[in-house]
Amino acid sequence: MDAETLFPLGGSLPVRRLGFGTGGLVGPGYWGVRYEDSGRAVGVLRRAVERGVTLIDTADNYGPDVAEELVARALYPYPAGLVIATKGGVVRTGPDVWHIAGRPERLRAMCEASLRRLRVETIDLYQLHRLDPEVPMAEQLGALTELREEGKIRHLGLDSVGVAELTRALELAPLASVQNRYNLTERDSDAVLELCERRGLAFLPWFPLGHGALAESPHQGLTEVAARHGATTGQIALAWLLHRSPALLPTPGTGSLAHLDENLDAAGIALTDGDMARLDGAG
């Protein structure tokens, strides 16, 4: 990986911009385990860190609980410089079945449960998985700010927000990140990305490969650029994100060691201005 692609998360935690997401380590619909032999998932996590990944992105509802427990099993005690990001505020009750739970007492209980599963006293980055429309934003962010003041959270982030929500949230709490759906062909959050750039926030794009579509059924422009670089289309889609903005921190996930290495090799691809123009137009 390119050691120069660093981002100061929250202004205090330098991380390599290409990280690893744990959603691919759990079962379909983010439910249960993906592999009966959990050693496979443990091996992927350890390989990611061996390859230089310094940002691991997970969530309490992946499994539920499974992904956080795998992170701790594979990587605890955590090496110096490794940043663990997790999320709370969503309760999963089945494959692809979930509901938002943003009441302050529930958020506190979720955070403290994540602390236990991850075996840490402080979570580096805790992101509110969804804003609860039934609870005032000030109460939700107030609960997380209290946890931060108690030393249980180092930095706060939000998931799936628009410009107006992010602007309001920044008035209520110190934020370090946003995590929205964003990739080469899904750019509805361009304005959010621009706001993150102006305010020094990290933008963690989820589904950076379009839920696999950019690797499995890519469009012509992506195929052309990949051929010029002798790369896969998935690698070019990740390289596009890294070139698109210094605030973008993609965390693609996988349960395959070979696919992991392929993804991480994308950090070494230098796209030209012509490549970016071709991809921007095709996207």
Look up the CATH number of the domain holding residue 75: 3.20.20.100
Tally helices (H) and strands (E) across the chain.
11, 11
Which letter does DSSP use for residue 10 in this model? T
pTM over 0.75: yes
Name the pLDDT band for 3 (thresholds 50, 70, 90).
very low
* Residue 75 covered by a domain: yes
276 within a domain of the structure (yes/no)? no
What are the helix (H) ranges across 23-121? 39-50, 66-75, 104-118
Q: How confident is the model over 59-102, as pLDDT tens digits?
A: 999 999 999 999 999 999 999 999 999 999 999 999 999 999 99
- Assess if residue 198 is contained within a domain: no
Do 138 and 132 touch, CB atoms closer than 8 A? no
Residue 23 included in any domain: yes
Would residue 117 count as lying in a domain? Answer: yes
Mean per-residue pLDDT, 149-160: 98
Question: Would you name the residues annotated as active-site residues?
Answer: 62
The answer as to whether 80 is a domain residue is: yes
**Number of domains observed in the structure of the chain:** 1
Residue 185, burial from CB neighbour count under 10 angstroms (0-12, 13-18, 19+): middle
Domain limits at 124? 13-179
Mean per-residue pLDDT for 37-45?
A: 96
Residue 264 within any structural domain of the chain: no
Residue 281 pLDDT exceeds 90? no
In a domain, 174, yes or no: yes
89 φ/ψ sector (left φ>0, alpha ψ -120 to 50, else beta) = left
d(CA 222, CA 88): 35
